[in-house]
Chain A
Amino acid sequence: MSSAETGAGAEPVAEAHGPLFQFEVHPILSFEIGGVDLSFTNSSLFMVATFVVVSVFLTLGVKSRALVPGRWQSMAEIAYEFIANMIRDNVGSEGRRFFPIIFSLFMFILFGNLLGLLPYAFTFTSHIIVTGVLAISVFIGVTLVGLFRHGFHFFSFFVPAGVPSVMIPIMVPIEVISYLSRPVSLSIRLFANMMAGHTMLKVFAGFVVPLGAASFGFGGIAPIAMDVALIAFELLVAFLQAYVFTVLTCLYLNDAIHLH
Protein backbone atom coordinates (compact mmCIF):
# COMPACT_ATOMS: atom_id res chain seq x y z
CA MET A 1 0.00 0.00 0.00
CA SER A 2 2.94 2.32 -0.55
CA SER A 3 3.71 4.33 -3.59
CA ALA A 4 7.15 3.63 -4.93
CA GLU A 5 9.02 6.70 -6.07
CA THR A 6 11.31 6.70 -9.06
CA GLY A 7 14.93 7.31 -8.19
CA ALA A 8 16.78 10.23 -9.77
CA GLY A 9 17.17 9.22 -13.41
CA ALA A 10 16.78 5.53 -12.58
CA GLU A 11 14.60 3.11 -14.55
CA PRO A 12 10.88 3.73 -14.01
CA VAL A 13 9.42 1.64 -11.18
CA ALA A 14 5.82 0.47 -11.48
CA GLU A 15 3.96 2.65 -8.99
CA ALA A 16 1.92 0.77 -6.44
CA HIS A 17 -1.09 2.74 -5.30
CA GLY A 18 -3.29 2.02 -2.34
CA PRO A 19 -6.98 1.25 -2.75
CA LEU A 20 -7.93 4.88 -2.17
CA PHE A 21 -5.83 6.27 -5.03
CA GLN A 22 -8.67 5.71 -7.51
CA PHE A 23 -10.71 8.45 -5.80
CA GLU A 24 -8.15 11.20 -6.29
CA VAL A 25 -9.23 14.08 -8.47
CA HIS A 26 -6.59 15.19 -10.97
CA PRO A 27 -6.88 18.27 -13.14
CA ILE A 28 -6.72 17.62 -16.87
CA LEU A 29 -6.90 21.25 -18.00
CA SER A 30 -6.03 23.59 -15.15
CA PHE A 31 -7.34 27.09 -15.15
CA GLU A 32 -8.51 29.39 -12.44
CA ILE A 33 -10.61 32.53 -12.36
CA GLY A 34 -9.95 35.07 -9.62
CA GLY A 35 -8.19 32.58 -7.39
CA VAL A 36 -10.94 29.96 -7.66
CA ASP A 37 -9.75 26.67 -9.10
CA LEU A 38 -12.04 25.80 -12.02
CA SER A 39 -9.91 23.14 -13.71
CA PHE A 40 -11.43 20.51 -15.91
CA THR A 41 -10.69 17.38 -13.87
CA ASN A 42 -11.12 13.65 -14.37
CA SER A 43 -14.34 14.01 -12.39
CA SER A 44 -15.64 16.62 -14.86
CA LEU A 45 -14.51 14.42 -17.74
CA PHE A 46 -16.66 11.56 -16.54
CA MET A 47 -19.63 13.84 -15.93
CA VAL A 48 -19.34 15.01 -19.55
CA ALA A 49 -18.94 11.40 -20.67
CA THR A 50 -22.09 10.44 -18.74
CA PHE A 51 -24.00 13.28 -20.37
CA VAL A 52 -22.80 12.21 -23.84
CA VAL A 53 -23.62 8.53 -23.26
CA VAL A 54 -27.10 9.27 -21.92
CA SER A 55 -27.87 11.69 -24.76
CA VAL A 56 -26.65 9.28 -27.43
CA PHE A 57 -28.51 6.38 -25.82
CA LEU A 58 -31.80 8.25 -25.76
CA THR A 59 -31.72 10.33 -28.96
CA LEU A 60 -30.30 7.69 -31.27
CA GLY A 61 -32.45 5.06 -29.60
CA VAL A 62 -35.74 6.63 -30.61
CA LYS A 63 -34.51 7.97 -33.94
CA SER A 64 -36.13 5.20 -35.94
CA ARG A 65 -39.56 5.94 -34.38
CA ALA A 66 -40.81 2.45 -35.15
CA LEU A 67 -44.27 1.60 -33.92
CA VAL A 68 -43.00 -1.82 -32.92
CA PRO A 69 -39.68 -0.91 -31.29
CA GLY A 70 -36.40 -2.63 -32.06
CA ARG A 71 -33.95 -3.45 -29.29
CA TRP A 72 -32.37 -0.05 -28.77
CA GLN A 73 -35.66 1.84 -28.98
CA SER A 74 -37.10 -0.70 -26.54
CA MET A 75 -34.41 0.08 -24.00
CA ALA A 76 -34.97 3.82 -24.31
CA GLU A 77 -38.73 3.32 -23.94
CA ILE A 78 -38.23 1.04 -20.93
CA ALA A 79 -36.15 3.74 -19.23
CA TYR A 80 -38.86 6.33 -19.90
CA GLU A 81 -41.68 4.08 -18.72
CA PHE A 82 -39.81 3.00 -15.60
CA ILE A 83 -39.50 6.56 -14.34
CA ALA A 84 -42.94 7.61 -15.59
CA ASN A 85 -44.51 4.72 -13.67
CA MET A 86 -42.41 5.51 -10.61
CA ILE A 87 -43.62 9.10 -10.61
CA ARG A 88 -47.23 8.09 -11.21
CA ASP A 89 -47.14 5.53 -8.39
CA ASN A 90 -45.30 7.65 -5.84
CA VAL A 91 -46.31 11.22 -6.58
CA GLY A 92 -49.59 10.92 -8.47
CA SER A 93 -50.81 12.90 -11.42
CA GLU A 94 -49.43 16.25 -10.18
CA GLY A 95 -45.96 14.79 -10.42
CA ARG A 96 -45.95 14.67 -14.20
CA ARG A 97 -44.51 18.19 -14.48
CA PHE A 98 -41.45 17.00 -12.53
CA PHE A 99 -40.70 14.15 -14.93
CA PRO A 100 -37.78 15.89 -16.75
CA ILE A 101 -35.79 16.64 -13.59
CA ILE A 102 -36.41 13.25 -12.04
CA PHE A 103 -35.59 11.40 -15.26
CA SER A 104 -32.38 13.43 -15.69
CA LEU A 105 -31.42 12.80 -12.07
CA PHE A 106 -31.96 9.05 -12.44
CA MET A 107 -30.07 8.72 -15.73
CA PHE A 108 -27.19 10.91 -14.51
CA ILE A 109 -26.67 8.88 -11.34
CA LEU A 110 -27.23 5.53 -13.08
CA PHE A 111 -24.80 6.12 -15.92
CA GLY A 112 -22.34 7.81 -13.58
CA ASN A 113 -22.32 4.67 -11.44
CA LEU A 114 -22.12 2.36 -14.46
CA LEU A 115 -19.34 4.24 -16.26
CA GLY A 116 -17.30 4.08 -13.07
CA LEU A 117 -17.21 0.30 -13.35
CA LEU A 118 -15.15 0.41 -16.54
CA PRO A 119 -11.42 -0.21 -16.07
CA TYR A 120 -9.38 2.90 -15.21
CA ALA A 121 -12.61 4.91 -14.97
CA PHE A 122 -13.48 7.45 -12.32
CA THR A 123 -16.75 7.22 -10.38
CA PHE A 124 -17.83 10.77 -9.76
CA THR A 125 -20.71 9.64 -7.51
CA SER A 126 -18.15 8.31 -5.04
CA HIS A 127 -17.40 11.82 -3.87
CA ILE A 128 -19.50 13.30 -1.07
CA ILE A 129 -19.30 16.75 -2.66
CA VAL A 130 -21.04 15.50 -5.82
CA THR A 131 -23.73 13.45 -4.06
CA GLY A 132 -24.07 16.19 -1.46
CA VAL A 133 -24.87 18.80 -4.09
CA LEU A 134 -27.37 16.45 -5.75
CA ALA A 135 -29.07 15.72 -2.42
CA ILE A 136 -29.12 19.35 -1.27
CA SER A 137 -30.55 20.46 -4.64
CA VAL A 138 -33.30 17.85 -4.30
CA PHE A 139 -33.97 18.95 -0.71
CA ILE A 140 -34.13 22.66 -1.49
CA GLY A 141 -36.15 22.05 -4.65
CA VAL A 142 -38.71 19.87 -2.88
CA THR A 143 -39.02 22.33 0.04
CA LEU A 144 -39.55 25.22 -2.39
CA VAL A 145 -42.21 23.21 -4.25
CA GLY A 146 -43.99 22.67 -0.94
CA LEU A 147 -43.68 26.31 0.11
CA PHE A 148 -44.91 27.69 -3.20
CA ARG A 149 -47.83 25.29 -3.29
CA HIS A 150 -49.01 25.62 0.30
CA GLY A 151 -47.50 28.81 1.64
CA PHE A 152 -47.13 28.77 5.40
CA HIS A 153 -49.52 25.85 5.64
CA PHE A 154 -46.51 23.77 4.52
CA PHE A 155 -45.28 23.83 8.11
CA SER A 156 -48.30 21.79 9.18
CA PHE A 157 -46.34 18.91 7.64
CA PHE A 158 -44.27 18.80 10.82
CA VAL A 159 -47.30 18.01 12.97
CA PRO A 160 -48.16 14.39 12.21
CA ALA A 161 -51.82 13.52 11.89
CA GLY A 162 -53.61 12.19 14.95
CA VAL A 163 -51.14 13.40 17.57
CA PRO A 164 -52.60 14.46 20.97
CA SER A 165 -51.90 18.16 21.65
CA VAL A 166 -49.74 17.36 24.69
CA MET A 167 -47.23 15.54 22.52
CA ILE A 168 -46.88 18.26 19.87
CA PRO A 169 -43.98 20.17 21.56
CA ILE A 170 -42.02 16.93 21.60
CA MET A 171 -43.02 15.67 18.15
CA VAL A 172 -42.38 18.83 16.14
CA PRO A 173 -38.62 19.09 16.87
CA ILE A 174 -38.28 15.39 16.15
CA GLU A 175 -40.08 15.79 12.85
CA VAL A 176 -38.01 18.84 11.92
CA ILE A 177 -34.76 17.05 12.69
CA SER A 178 -35.78 14.01 10.69
CA TYR A 179 -36.76 16.30 7.78
CA LEU A 180 -33.39 18.07 7.92
CA SER A 181 -31.57 14.74 7.98
CA ARG A 182 -33.00 13.82 4.55
CA PRO A 183 -30.24 15.39 2.40
CA VAL A 184 -27.64 13.94 4.77
CA SER A 185 -28.91 10.38 4.42
CA LEU A 186 -29.55 10.74 0.69
CA SER A 187 -26.02 11.90 -0.07
CA ILE A 188 -24.20 9.55 2.31
CA ARG A 189 -26.11 6.49 1.08
CA LEU A 190 -25.00 6.96 -2.52
CA PHE A 191 -21.47 8.11 -1.77
CA ALA A 192 -20.72 5.38 0.79
CA ASN A 193 -22.11 2.60 -1.42
CA MET A 194 -20.00 3.67 -4.38
CA MET A 195 -16.85 4.29 -2.35
CA ALA A 196 -17.10 1.05 -0.37
CA GLY A 197 -17.73 -1.02 -3.49
CA HIS A 198 -14.84 0.37 -5.45
CA THR A 199 -12.49 0.19 -2.47
CA MET A 200 -13.30 -3.50 -2.01
CA LEU A 201 -12.65 -4.14 -5.69
CA LYS A 202 -9.23 -2.52 -5.42
CA VAL A 203 -8.36 -4.31 -2.17
CA PHE A 204 -9.03 -7.73 -3.69
CA ALA A 205 -7.25 -6.77 -6.88
CA GLY A 206 -4.24 -5.86 -4.79
CA PHE A 207 -4.09 -9.41 -3.47
CA VAL A 208 -3.68 -11.03 -6.90
CA VAL A 209 0.02 -10.48 -7.47
CA PRO A 210 1.21 -11.26 -3.92
CA LEU A 211 -0.89 -14.43 -3.68
CA GLY A 212 0.10 -15.46 -7.20
CA ALA A 213 3.76 -14.92 -6.53
CA ALA A 214 3.59 -17.17 -3.48
CA SER A 215 1.91 -20.06 -5.29
CA PHE A 216 3.25 -20.18 -8.87
CA GLY A 217 0.33 -18.13 -10.13
CA PHE A 218 -2.51 -20.41 -9.02
CA GLY A 219 -3.29 -18.56 -5.81
CA GLY A 220 -4.00 -15.42 -7.78
CA ILE A 221 -7.16 -16.94 -9.23
CA ALA A 222 -9.12 -16.68 -5.97
CA PRO A 223 -9.03 -12.86 -5.70
CA ILE A 224 -9.90 -12.58 -9.40
CA ALA A 225 -12.94 -14.86 -8.91
CA MET A 226 -13.94 -12.73 -5.93
CA ASP A 227 -13.56 -9.60 -8.08
CA VAL A 228 -15.80 -11.08 -10.78
CA ALA A 229 -18.49 -11.68 -8.16
CA LEU A 230 -17.94 -8.18 -6.77
CA ILE A 231 -18.34 -6.57 -10.20
CA ALA A 232 -21.65 -8.39 -10.63
CA PHE A 233 -22.68 -7.11 -7.21
CA GLU A 234 -21.52 -3.58 -8.07
CA LEU A 235 -23.62 -3.62 -11.26
CA LEU A 236 -26.63 -4.43 -9.09
CA VAL A 237 -25.69 -1.74 -6.59
CA ALA A 238 -25.27 0.83 -9.40
CA PHE A 239 -28.87 0.29 -10.51
CA LEU A 240 -30.22 -0.05 -6.99
CA GLN A 241 -28.64 3.13 -5.67
CA ALA A 242 -29.81 5.17 -8.66
CA TYR A 243 -33.31 3.72 -8.18
CA VAL A 244 -33.33 4.40 -4.43
CA PHE A 245 -32.12 8.00 -4.84
CA THR A 246 -34.85 8.64 -7.40
CA VAL A 247 -37.64 6.88 -5.51
CA LEU A 248 -36.82 8.78 -2.33
CA THR A 249 -36.86 12.03 -4.32
CA CYS A 250 -40.34 11.07 -5.58
CA LEU A 251 -41.48 10.27 -2.03
CA TYR A 252 -40.17 13.59 -0.68
CA LEU A 253 -41.90 15.35 -3.57
CA ASN A 254 -45.11 13.52 -2.67
CA ASP A 255 -44.74 14.71 0.93
CA ALA A 256 -44.28 18.29 -0.24
CA ILE A 257 -47.20 18.24 -2.67
CA HIS A 258 -49.68 16.30 -0.62
CA LEU A 259 -48.38 17.16 2.89
CA HIS A 260 -49.69 14.28 4.90
Chain B
Amino acid sequence: MELDAAKMIGAGLAVIGLSGVGAGIGAIFASLIQSIARNPSARAQVFPLGMLGFALVEAVALYALLISFLILFT
Protein backbone atom coordinates (compact mmCIF):
# COMPACT_ATOMS: atom_id res chain seq x y z
CA MET B 1 0.00 0.00 0.00
CA GLU B 2 1.32 3.47 -0.78
CA LEU B 3 2.45 5.56 2.13
CA ASP B 4 0.05 8.40 1.26
CA ALA B 5 -2.93 6.06 1.10
CA ALA B 6 -1.97 4.52 4.43
CA LYS B 7 -1.65 8.00 5.97
CA MET B 8 -5.13 8.94 4.82
CA ILE B 9 -6.59 5.75 6.22
CA GLY B 10 -4.72 6.21 9.50
CA ALA B 11 -5.89 9.80 9.86
CA GLY B 12 -9.46 8.74 9.27
CA LEU B 13 -9.24 5.92 11.80
CA ALA B 14 -7.68 8.23 14.39
CA VAL B 15 -10.71 10.51 14.55
CA ILE B 16 -13.12 7.67 15.37
CA GLY B 17 -12.27 8.42 19.01
CA LEU B 18 -14.13 11.71 18.75
CA SER B 19 -17.40 9.80 19.11
CA GLY B 20 -16.49 9.13 22.74
CA VAL B 21 -15.79 12.81 23.23
CA GLY B 22 -19.21 13.73 21.89
CA ALA B 23 -20.80 11.34 24.36
CA GLY B 24 -18.64 12.74 27.15
CA ILE B 25 -19.54 16.37 26.50
CA GLY B 26 -23.20 15.42 26.34
CA ALA B 27 -22.90 13.59 29.65
CA ILE B 28 -21.21 16.55 31.34
CA PHE B 29 -23.81 19.05 30.28
CA ALA B 30 -26.68 16.63 30.95
CA SER B 31 -25.56 16.27 34.56
CA LEU B 32 -24.89 20.02 34.80
CA ILE B 33 -28.39 20.90 33.63
CA GLN B 34 -29.97 18.26 35.83
CA SER B 35 -28.10 19.34 38.94
CA ILE B 36 -29.04 23.00 38.34
CA ALA B 37 -32.65 21.96 37.78
CA ARG B 38 -32.74 20.08 41.05
CA ASN B 39 -31.09 22.82 43.06
CA PRO B 40 -30.96 26.19 41.29
CA SER B 41 -29.15 27.82 44.21
CA ALA B 42 -26.12 25.54 43.64
CA ARG B 43 -25.56 27.05 40.22
CA ALA B 44 -22.68 29.30 41.25
CA GLN B 45 -20.74 26.34 42.63
CA VAL B 46 -21.59 23.78 39.99
CA PHE B 47 -21.10 25.89 36.87
CA PRO B 48 -17.31 26.44 37.15
CA LEU B 49 -16.83 22.71 37.71
CA GLY B 50 -18.96 22.04 34.65
CA MET B 51 -16.78 24.34 32.56
CA LEU B 52 -13.62 22.69 33.87
CA GLY B 53 -15.03 19.26 33.03
CA PHE B 54 -16.03 20.40 29.56
CA ALA B 55 -12.58 21.77 28.84
CA LEU B 56 -10.89 18.59 30.04
CA VAL B 57 -13.12 16.42 27.81
CA GLU B 58 -12.56 18.73 24.85
CA ALA B 59 -8.83 18.38 25.40
CA VAL B 60 -9.18 14.65 24.66
CA ALA B 61 -10.89 15.56 21.39
CA LEU B 62 -7.91 17.71 20.52
CA TYR B 63 -5.47 14.92 21.39
CA ALA B 64 -7.26 12.69 18.88
CA LEU B 65 -7.14 15.47 16.27
CA LEU B 66 -3.48 16.06 17.01
CA ILE B 67 -2.64 12.39 16.44
CA SER B 68 -4.68 12.44 13.25
CA PHE B 69 -2.76 15.46 11.96
CA LEU B 70 0.54 13.91 13.02
CA ILE B 71 -0.31 10.80 11.02
CA LEU B 72 -1.47 12.81 8.05
CA PHE B 73 1.29 15.36 7.84
CA THR B 74 4.49 13.73 9.07
Q: Please tell me the number of chain B residues within 8 Å of chain A, measured between CB atoms.
A: 12
Stretch of A29-37, A172-180, A184-192 contacting B (4+ beta carbons < 8 Å): A184-192
Interface: B13 (CB within 8 A): no
The total of interchain contacts (Cβ-Cβ below 8 angstroms) comes to: 35
Q: What does the 1/0 interface line of A182-207 toward B look like (CB < 8 Å)?
A: 00010011001100100000000000
Bound CA span A247–B51, Å:
11
SS class, residues of chain A in contact with chain B: helix
CB atoms of B51 and A243 under 8 A apart: yes
CA distance A185 to B61 in the complex (A): 12
B58 and A247 form a contact (CB under 8 A): no
Q: Is the CB of B59 within 8 A of A189?
A: yes
Interface residues on A, range: 10 to 19
What residues of chain B have their CB less than 8 Å away from a CB belonging to chain A?
Answer: 48, 51-52, 54-56, 58-59, 62-63, 65-66
Q: List 25 A-B contacts (CB under 8 A).
A: A185-B63, A188-B62, A188-B63, A188-B66, A189-B56, A189-B58, A189-B59, A192-B62, A192-B63, A192-B66, A196-B62, A240-B51, A240-B54, A240-B55, A241-B55, A243-B51, A243-B52, A243-B55, A244-B51, A244-B52, A244-B55, A244-B56, A247-B48, A247-B52, A248-B52
Known: A185-B63, A243-B51, A248-B52. 11 other contacts (CB 8 A): A185-B59, A188-B59, A188-B63, A189-B59, A192-B65, A196-B62, A196-B65, A244-B51, A244-B55, A244-B56, A247-B48
